[in-house]
Amino acid sequence: MLKALDHLEEWLIATLMAAATVIIFIAVVHRYASGMAIPYVQDWLLKQNVSWAQELCIYMFIWMAKFGAAYGVRTGIHVGVDVFINRMKDRMRAGFVVFGLLAGALFTGVIGTLGAKFVWAIAHTDQVSADMEVPMWIVYLAIPCGSYLMCFRFLQVAWAFVRTGQLPHHDHGHVEGIEEARPEDVLPLGLRDNLHPKDSGPGAR
């Protein structure tokens, strides 16, 4: 169960992204094909209403953004200014890190609760979306779902930090599917250019 939960965001984001891509592709093809004077086909295409595609994709991207924020907490991908904190002593630094993570959990928990109250209130109205005419509470459900998941990730990272002292780290230069460069790949002949300080000393070759 926990193993599946560890990859929940990736599965949801990948599914929504794939579905949005297919929907946008179909809508674009429909738009261009409708302008072609093909007997019977053009008439049939013009009868098909795909105006809902843009609205649906917008809502899907909103859901992706909310789950993407939770993914960012779990993987350490969010940008943070930690120059001052990293200069502190280990004990004080750990305290500030835990405080920051718990503050993030509190904030997202509050947003999730307020969002849940808003969804509950709007669910008792007749508000629907403009094109698809789906209940708007389904759209706004992204707020409590994404915020509570983000809150859980903050607590998860805080607990892991207390136990191990390690925070999730994301290498922004790493690309999935590409292996890390080895020294022999960078300098296959072992040549030295004497441009680096460590190579410019008396012992440099």
- Following DSSP, what letter does each residue of the chain receive, concatenated? -HHHHHTHHHHHHHHHHHHHHHHHHHHHHHHHHHTS--TTHHHHHHH---THHHHHHHHHHHHHHHHHHHHHHHHT-S----HHHHTS-HHHHHHHHHHHHHHHHHHHHHHHHHHHHHHHHHTTS--B-SSS--BHHHHHTHHHHHHHHHHHHHHHHHHHHHHHS------TT--TT-PPPPHHHHSTT----S-SGGGSSTT--
pLDDT of residue 200: 47
In a domain, 132, yes or no: yes
In a domain, 38, yes or no: yes
Spell out the per-residue pLDDT of the chain, length 205, in tens.
Answer: 556 677 888 899 999 999 999 999 999 998 888 888 888 888 888 888 888 999 999 999 999 999 999 999 998 888 777 888 888 888 899 999 999 999 999 999 999 999 999 999 999 999 999 889 999 999 999 999 999 999 999 999 999 999 998 888 766 565 555 666 666 555 555 555 555 555 445 555 4
Domain count, the chain: 1
pLDDT of residue 50: 87
In a domain, 8, yes or no: yes
In a domain, 153, yes or no: yes
In a domain, 186, yes or no: no
pLDDT of residue 43: 87
Domain span holding position 69: 2-170
In a domain, 55, yes or no: yes
In a domain, 46, yes or no: yes
In a domain, 182, yes or no: no
